[in-house]
Every structure is written in structure tokens, then in C-alpha cells.
Structure 1
């Protein structure tokens, strides 16, 4: 029976993807390469999004103000994520090229410069966040009660941002080196610990009463810090081609400048997204804590399904970068089109789930009917653009894998700043659609973003990028 043999081959390949083995992604079968890269990346992103969902599940038991605190803090902390992801893009693009060229020594030196750069920025951001936590929440429109409840949570999250930053950029380096299984294991370790620690530190156990909302922040920081220690062990143990040796531990200003040049585009993409997210959250805050809570729940659930799609898209970035380094441009393009097709299929299925069962998913996270209605509405409307989202994600990751981080930034500015924010504001305030108007603007603008990204990819200028 041929189907049985095919199934056995697939399961064998699936096992290989999870266990992990260094491959030459410039030579092996493209479909095989996509599977070997995407499976650990998808599992990595599933754990990241699962933690976000579990976290909001437990925090939701503390009430609307606690949910609002997490939502408002996250809207600002996403700036740190943006910087981390931007540096991670530089890590992925530069190490992808070096691995495509088989220059492993330079790859190790690049990884060390990335640690210096990312660590320095994270310390500065941590100090600012710790000092101005209350002002940050107040600026985001939080009520005095939310500020009183959540300032401690915000301080701890900012203080622990070094772990967030390093987690992003080292995993970016692992992906660039074709080691997605190490990135996967890192997030399974760190977020697995988060999930275990969350209820214990929030609610306590036995005679230990827990820390309430601050316990969620402590759990997150602890889990991610241990994840970073795991990453550093694998960067320094010399068991992989990507390794930091004593000879690599030399400050290189030229490499730092190159990291800054590439990461600015990556930071720009996500900082633009972050500013948009801050503005949208600020608009949502005008409609009260229930609106913020519903908005937060809906997007935690939406991210749960988008993270695996990001994982699949990241496979395209790796294949584009390494194949460009090996001067195999046609192979890079084929990888992108195949990955985009798979992503569209996956998110098309997810769209049906949210449209049909969005109200059920929302009810799992809060007993408050008003919050449930807002969250359910967000799921059903935003998911209508999911097929476009899936294609757009792959196009953006293809640009980033090629080292062209600036093109997605320009597209983000045009669509998210000059269209999504004004559209959300006018639909919500002037047309009195409130949360419905905000969700419509998100679905429409992200779909348009995908189509524009596809057009720029087809033009092909990204293939001329030098890294």
C-alpha cells in the first residue's frame, strides 16, 4: 500500500524535524527543507502563543482591571519586542548568508556582536520602564485603579526585558544557522516553565498565597531567563557549526554598524506596528475596561493561530537567505511560493473555526458577557482577512531573509500609520461603530498590506540586497 509507505516516510521526516539535525538547505529537496524547518518553528510558535493564551486565562480570573493592565502594558512592551525582533532579523539575515557561504567562523563572531548590542539596549529600556511604570500606564489611558493594581506588574515586565531581548535575537541566530530545533526547545523550556509557574505564583498553593498579578510577571521573567541560559549553553558548547569561541569574543565596530543597518529596518517594521498597536489600544481604552479586556482576549487567541503561521513563514526566510548566499535565486523563489500556498491553506481552515465558534472560544477566558461579546466579535471579523495574512507573512519573511528589511518598513508606514489608525479612529468615533469599527480597520488594512507586499515581492528588487 503506497499510502502507508508515504505515511511512514512522513512520520520519519517529522521525527527528524523535531529531533533536529544540521542540514544543507541549499541542496536538499525544497519540500523536505520546508518541512524540516517549519515543523520545529511551528512548534516553537505554538508554545509561545499557548503561553500567551494560558497567561491571559489565569489573569482573567483576577478581574477586568488585571486584564486591562496586561493589555495596556503589552501595548508598550511590544516596543521592546519590536527592537528584539529587529535585531533578531539582523541575526537571521547575517548568519544565513555566512552559512550559505560556509563561513562559520564569521558567523560566530557575528553572534557575539549581537549579544553585546542587544544586551546594552535592553538594560537601558529596563531602567526607563522601571522608573516610569505608572506614567506609562497613565499615558495609555489607564484608570487610577488600574495603575494602582498593575504598576508592579509593569515594572517587573520591563525589568526582565533583557531575557525577552536575548531570547528573540539568539533564536534568530539559531534559525539563520539552520538550527530551528534549538529555537523550538528554548521556547518549550521557557514557556513551559511559565505555564507551570503562572498559577502557582498568581494564586499560590497551600500556605503560600501567591503574588496576584505580579506573580504573572515573575513567572514570565523567570521562565524566559532560564530559556536564555539554555540558549547560551548551546552557543558556547562547540557542538554545532554556530559557536562562540574565545577568538570570536572581540568587539567589532564594523559588524555592529552592519547589525544596526539591517536591524533598523526590522525594528522599523515592528516599531511601526507597535505605534499602531499603542494608538489602537488607546482608542479602545476610551470605551472602558471591558473593551480593553475583550480586545486583549481576542488578540491573544488570534495570535495563538498566527504564531504557527509565522513559524511556517520563517522557513521561507531561512531558505531565501541561505540560497541567496549560495547564489541559487530560483530555488529561493520557489521556496517562497510553496510556503505561501501552505500558509494560505492553514489560515483558511482557522478562519472557518473562528467564524463558526468564535463565541465559544471567547467564553473560555472570562465569565463577563460584555467582554465575551467584544472578544468574539474581534475573532470573527479579523479572521476574515486571514488567508491574505498568510500570504503576506511569507512575503515579509522573504524580504527579511534576503536582508531587505526596509521595504516592509515602508509598506508598514504607508498602510498602518496613514490608513489603519485614521480609519480605526473615524469608524469607532465619528461613525459610532466603536469596537466594530476598530476590528474592521484591522482586517481590511492587514489584508491590503499582504497584497502590496506580494506586489513588491514580484518586482524582485529584494534579490539585489547585499548582506
Structure 2
């Protein structure tokens, strides 16, 4: 009993240190402790990111199937924005982590500024398209006229304000690369609190604020994320993290920018491949009606709640790989990946059992409509069957990115998503007439394939030789 108490006391002490961000040396000492110190705040950070989806889904579900479907279609398009943001953030994390491992904090700060410049430029282009063509975008996704009429305002605001998404991801990537994962976590907690408060106010109306319906969810989320970005900038400029930016750093540096683009292109490519696959899957799902689409949309948002913590552990592995390669300790980098992969697989295995048992109960939190619950629960169960593979696969793929080898995951994603998943989903769902079930199995099989190929490729060890 005394031994167990000591273990619990030590875990609590580590947890407290991880949350406060006091532990920032990850290139020496216990690998298990380093994984824990980075994973805890990163897991909480990613959970906070997924809370955006769940809160919006919960309140919008009161507005009916069309509103939920509009959110789902918009989010599927928005995943292309996430693809660019996450792809860039991979490059940022890899470069910042490598500079920090080399003890070059000034170089890390300069990379941070160039990433912000690049994010603003890309987001501006997407904003113009989102503001001018929201109805056409929903139409391309297969939405019917009444759904477009109800939901285009949501699309317009979220795409128009996508700079908040872009910068939130990029600046948090700077913090993660520096090992300041707790800072990124606190930013998203702040943002989510705002979103939780503002969502019902703008959706249903309160006092002088009129009821905006589904459009209100986009307004609340954009305000929440925008406020978080301002918080991030304050942290950067006032030096409340390891990375401090001053006015003299706000200049264009072509060499750093080109290096950032070079490292990020693979990351952007791999996520555009993955997320465009999701867009096409959503387009196939639109063939089966608003109720089926709504059930799938809710299920994906619920799945994201547990995929995000898994993504957090994967980001921890990426940071450990980058910093340890920068410190010329490749074997320690590899050990970090295998340990994190094991922990992630165990976590995902536990979650998969939970979904298999409680799928219907989870869906009924969001809707009482029979078809929505039926298809949402079915997609939860089928996709969760591959969760253990997701756990290992995510860590391995992110480790390539942490090393700056963004090309390898791009090739893997291209083969598994475009060559395998999309043709299989189309053939199974529409040709073989399996319906939505064909799409669900396509998702699971593709993710299992990614994990298997990723592990085989990782063992070859060529990622250790990448320079950034």
C-alpha cells in the first residue's frame, strides 16, 4: 500500500510539473518521464481543440438535421484549411525543436515570425473564397437548396475567419517545438471557455444579441479562437515562454522562409491528401440523406474528441524526435517513439471498448432521431475497431514529421488514402450497395494500412539522417 501511495504521489508530482511547464529539458534523463511531461499538456491541448467541435455539435443539434449536416459539410471543407495549418505547423515544430535542441533560441524565434507571416498570407486567400462563394462551396459538397439556405452563413464566417485557425495552430506549434506544451494548452483552455459561453448566446440569442441560429456557432467559435490568438501573441512578445519575439524580429527573412516552406510542403501535402479524402467521403455520405449524414457528422466529432488526445501524444513524440536529433541523440529519439506508441495504443484500445459498448448512448446525447442515432452509432463502432492501429500509426507518422522527413508520410498517405481508401469507399458504398457502411469500413482499413506501412518504414531508420 505504501509503495502504491509513493507511485501515485510521484505521478501527481509529475502531472503538476507538466501542467505548469517547469520541465523543459527533454534530451537527457528518463525517456518515460520526458514522454509524460510533454504528453500531458499536449493531450489536454488537443482535447481542448476537439471540445470546439463537440460544443458546436451539441448546441447545433437543437436546430435539426439540416443544421447538423451544414456544420458537417462545412467542417469537411474546413479540413483543407486544417491540412494547410497542420502541415505548416509540422514544419514549424520540426524547425523550432531542432533549433532548441541545438541551443539556438534566436533561430527558433526567427522561424516563429516567418511562420506567422506565411500563415496570414495563405489564410487571406482562403478568406476571400469563403466570403464570396459559401453557397457554391456547399453546393459542390452535394448540399440541397434548403440546406444551403440554412447553413451558408456558418460556412461564410468560418472560412472567412480562418486566419484564427491558421495562427492558433502555427503559434501553438512554436510552443510545442520549444517544449512549452503547457503554454499551448492554456491558450486553448482560454479559447474554449469563451466558445462555451458564447455559443448559446449567439445561436439562441440573449438580451440584445439576436438568435443567429447555426451561423451563431461560427461567430462564437471565431471570437473564441481570435481571442486565443491575441493571447498567444502577448505570450510571444512578452517572453512568457522559452521563445521570445521582439520588434526587430518582425522582418522578412527569405532563407528561413524558404526552409520553412521546404520542410512544411510535405506536411501540407500529406494532410491535403488525407483531408481531401475526408471531403470526398463526406460527398459520398451526402448521397444517403441528411439524417445519415448528420449521424456520421456527430460520430466524427465524438471520435475527434479521443483522436485529439492521441494526436497530442503523437506531437509529444515529434518534439522529442526533433530535440534529440538536434542534440545528436538519434537512438534516444527512436526509443521515445516506441515508448510513446505503446502508451498511445493502450489508450486507444481502452477508448475503442468504450465506443463499442456505449455507441447508442453517446449519440442520444446529441439527437433522438432514429436514423441519426443508428448510423452515428454504427460508424462509431466500425471506425473504433481500428483504434489500436491508429494509436501506433499516429505516433510513427508524426515522428517522421518531427525529424523533418515530411516526404515519407506524404507518400504513405497518398497510397493509403487516394489509391486505396477512396476507390474502396466508392465501390463498396455505391457499386456494391453497402451504403454508408462501405464508407465506414474504408476509413478503418485505410488507417490500419497506414500504421502497418509506417512502422515498417520507420524501422529502416533513414529519418535519422534528415537535416533541417
TM-score (norm 1): 0.98
Contact 2:138 2:148 in 1 (8 A): yes
What is the rounded CA distance, in whole Å, between the counterparts of 2:240 and 2:144 in structure 1? 52
Within 5 Å, which residues of 2 pair with 1:276-291?
276-291=277-292
- Mapped pair 1:271 → 2:272: yes
Deviates more, 1:333-342 or 1:23-32: 23-32
Match in the other structure for 2:392: 391
What is the CA deviation profile of residues 267-314 of structure 1, one whole-angstrom value per residue up to 9, with x for unaligned ones? 111100121011101100011111210110110011111111111111
What is the CA deviation profile of residues 237-293 of structure 1, one whole-angstrom value per residue up to 9, with x for unaligned ones? 124331112332221111111111111111111100121011101100011111210
Query: 1:207 Cα deviation (Å)?
Result: 6.2
Match in the other structure for 2:413: 412
What is the CA deviation profile of residues 19-49 of structure 1, one whole-angstrom value per residue up to 9, with x for unaligned ones? 1125211113111111110001111111111
Within 5 Å, which residues of 2 pair with 1:167-206?
167-206=168-207
Match in the other structure for 2:19: 18
Match in the other structure for 1:92: 93
Within 5 Å, which residues of 2 pair with 1:188-227?
188-206=189-207, 208-227=209-228
**RMSD (Å) for aligned C-alpha atoms:** 1.0
Cα distance change of structure 1 residues 207 and 160 upon mapping to structure 2, 3 Å threshold? closer
- Secondary structure in 1 matching 2:7: helix
Match in the other structure for 2:143: 142
What is the rounded CA distance, in whole Å, between the counterparts of 2:78 and 2:4 in structure 1? 48
What is the CA deviation profile of residues 163-219 of structure 1, one whole-angstrom value per residue up to 9, with x for unaligned ones? 000000001010000000011011111122111111111012356442111100000
What is the CA deviation profile of residues 429-457 of structure 1, one whole-angstrom value per residue up to 9, with x for unaligned ones? 11111011110111111111111011110
Deviates more, 1:455-464 or 1:46-55: 46-55
Within 5 Å, which residues of 2 pair with 1:220-259?
220-259=221-260
Match in the other structure for 1:357: 358
Match in the other structure for 1:6: 7
What is the rounded CA distance, in whole Å, between the counterparts of 1:206 and 1:367 in structure 2? 29
Contact 2:52 2:221 in 1 (8 A): no
What is the rounded CA distance, in whole Å, between the counterparts of 1:217 and 1:23 in structure 2? 36
Query: 1:137 Cα deviation (Å)?
Result: 0.4
What is the rounded CA distance, in whole Å, between the counterparts of 2:397 and 2:418 in structure 1? 17
Where do 4+ consecutive residues of structure 1 move more than 6 Å? Answer: none
What is the rounded CA distance, in whole Å, between the counterparts of 2:279 and 2:240 in structure 1? 42
Query: 1:422 Cα deviation (Å)?
Result: 0.6
Gaps of at least 5 residues in structure 1 are none
Contact 2:18 2:40 in 1 (8 A): yes
Match in the other structure for 1:379: 380
What is the rounded CA distance, in whole Å, between the counterparts of 1:71 and 1:328 in structure 2? 44
- Secondary structure in 2 matching 1:286: helix
What is the rounded CA distance, in whole Å, between the counterparts of 1:109 and 1:448 in structure 2? 38
- Secondary structure in 2 matching 1:466: coil
- Secondary structure in 1 matching 2:27: coil
Match in the other structure for 1:300: 301
Contact 2:50 2:304 in 1 (8 A): yes
What is the rounded CA distance, in whole Å, between the counterparts of 2:208 and 2:316 in structure 1? 47
Matched pairs, number: 467
What is the rounded CA distance, in whole Å, between the counterparts of 1:4 and 1:323 in structure 2? 33
Within 5 Å, which residues of 2 pair with 1:107-118?
107-118=108-119
What is the rounded CA distance, in whole Å, between the counterparts of 2:193 and 2:239 in structure 1? 26
Match in the other structure for 1:151: 152
What is the rounded CA distance, in whole Å, between the counterparts of 1:87 and 1:203 in structure 2? 36
Match in the other structure for 1:345: 346
What is the rounded CA distance, in whole Å, between the counterparts of 1:241 and 1:364 in structure 2? 42
What is the rounded CA distance, in whole Å, between the counterparts of 1:225 and 1:197 in structure 2? 13
Gaps of at least 5 residues in structure 2 are none
What is the rounded CA distance, in whole Å, between the counterparts of 2:280 and 2:251 in structure 1? 41
